[in-house]
Structure 1
């Protein structure tokens, strides 16, 4: 009986607690919450440095970005993973972005050796964000993006760009423990 309790406790730790706590160990983009409603919050982010891939086929984007942080750069330097990973539409294609740790600037960030991987700056601004759990599927994202879009229209908040998908957890995190977000860049002066 005692062995089965220990076994169950170990499984709960491995499949529920560890994946959640692991995602929290990654550096996250810093922001200030300037407004909070029942549905969404508005955050102010300062300039952030990202590596990104823009393509028509986003299946290879993650692999290219992962290779960059794994040392496929001019310094052969491994770079710690950060959260979130963001995706959206850009230049008649789709982008995926990894945020670089805050210690990097455009001047000291390793230069990608793959020409598809670019370093760029996301300029400071306000973003309306709705958080949700579950899988980071298209259906789940579109559902929450529409909820956020509708509420922003009701609240007369001006949307300044296309929707952004942000994911915080790896594929082995249980769906109910995952943190996902849909966001829009917005005009904010309240």
Structure 2
């Protein structure tokens, strides 16, 4: 009986190896050879799933956003928009070694966005999606559409800054999540009515 190959799982494993390479070398340090060594597979296997280094790097960005969306959807409580907003905006804050690596890879993509139009466009779209979800949740707690939009932009920017501060160890993860949660409460309490 022939062995059944889970192609989606193989692609994910290669992308995880890509992230490890980006964490160690940055995006400009990505090569098929480095990813093959990190994943323990042949270069040919990587080329079977990814036609070029650019395709691999872009797939890594797409997988990162899709994974974050899945984690959020699992944590999000549709009955409690405040809890969902806290989950959305504290999720990027690195709280352990694995999420620290994830945050560093995300920031590598952000840095690359300065000279890669595709990455810039993709990350801008992902950021707009986060703002849109925050805005939706703020409307659910009673803010007007305009106030919700303004607060969503402010709170997403705060979350980004808190994540960066934790990544460079200027703030610990608990302080960052407390700060974001406190600002969410201020937005909700200060704007209702």
Q: TM-score range by the shorter chain?
A: under 0.3
Q: Which has the higher contact order (CA 8 A, sep 6+)?
A: 1
Q: Which has the higher helix share?
A: 2
TM-score normalised over the length of structure 2: 0.23
